[in-house]
């Protein structure tokens, strides 16, 4: 393998690592309600699309406005976890998808906040596009689908309500 090709391969692995780190930090900040830091993960013209049952209907929205709206609509009882990233990089752009678990929690007395009862949980998916902007990887597009995969329930089974 030529040195140049090797360098390209190493750069791709480093980029994947940086994108994964950025997206994980985004989730840490979401769970800790650090809205400014979350907003900084988006590129200037980034767009979000939330397809979330019972809440958000798949409309595209400017990412910075989405974060402002999300911060106002405080949902203290939700915790998100992400795993299984699949990221592909092409130069200064990348695409990726992740599995998402959203937990809807209530504190469990008498040990308030030490343990939380899992009232509901739902599996979802993030589909994202990333762009390198000023040397840092950012979201250019972020879509959240929850639940994922979507299920067809028999007529005699009420569709679960995953949103609180």
Partner 1 sequence: MTLEELKKRVKVLQDIEEIKKMHRDYIFWLSEQNWDDMTECFAENAIIKIGVHGAQDDNDEAKGKKEINRIFKDVIGKRALEVKPKGGHILLQPVITVEGDRAKGHWDMNRFVYNPDAHGGPAPEMGPGRYDCEYIREGGKWKISNLKWIHPFPKPPGSSEGKS
| Residues within the interface to partner 1 (CB under 8 A) | 3, 6-7, 10, 13-14, 17, 21, 24-25, 27-28, 31-33, 76, 79, 81-83, 103, 105, 107-118
Nearest approach in angstroms of CB 22 to partner 1 is: 9
Select 83 or 156, whichever has its Cβ closest to partner 1.
83
Kindly state the tokens that stand for 161: 């309500």
Nearest approach in angstroms of CB 109 to partner 1 is: 5
Nearest approach in angstroms of CB 21 to partner 1 is: 5
Q: What is the CA radius of gyration of the chain?
A: 18
- DSSP H helical ranges for the chain: 3-31, 35-39, 63-72
- Gap between the Cα atoms of 24 and 27, Å rounded: 5
Residue in the block written with tokens 């007395």: 109
- Gap between the Cα atoms of 19 and 154, Å rounded: 40
Select 2 or 90, whichever has its Cβ closest to partner 1.
2
Select 84 or 156, whichever has its Cβ closest to partner 1.
84
Select 54 or 107, whichever has its Cβ closest to partner 1.
107
Nearest approach in angstroms of CB 30 to partner 1 is: 10
Query: Distances in Å between the alpha carbon of 104 and those of 20, 76, 87, 95, 119?
Result: 24, 9, 28, 28, 6
């Amino acid at each position: 393998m030529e040195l140049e090709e090797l360098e390209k391969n190493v750069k791709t692995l480093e980029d994947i690592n940086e994108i994964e780190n950025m997206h994980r930090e985004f989730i840490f900040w979401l769970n800790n309600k650090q809205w400014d830091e979350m907003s900084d993960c988006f590129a200037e013209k980034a767009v979000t699309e939330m397809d979330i049952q019972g809440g958000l209907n798949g409309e595209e929205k400017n990412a910075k406005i989405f974060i402002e709206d999300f911060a106002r609509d405080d949902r203290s009882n939700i915790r998100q976890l992400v795993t299984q990233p699949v990221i592909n990089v092409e130069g200064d752009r990348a695409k990726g998808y992740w599995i998402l678990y959203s937990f809807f929690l209530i504190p469990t007395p008498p040990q308030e906040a030490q343990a939380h009862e899992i009232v509901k949980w739902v599996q979802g998916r993030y589909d994202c596009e990333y762009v390198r902007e000023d040397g840092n990887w950012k979201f250019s597009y972020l879509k959240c689908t929850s639940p994922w995969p979507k299920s067809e329930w028999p007529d005699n089974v009420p569709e679960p309500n995953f949103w609180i």
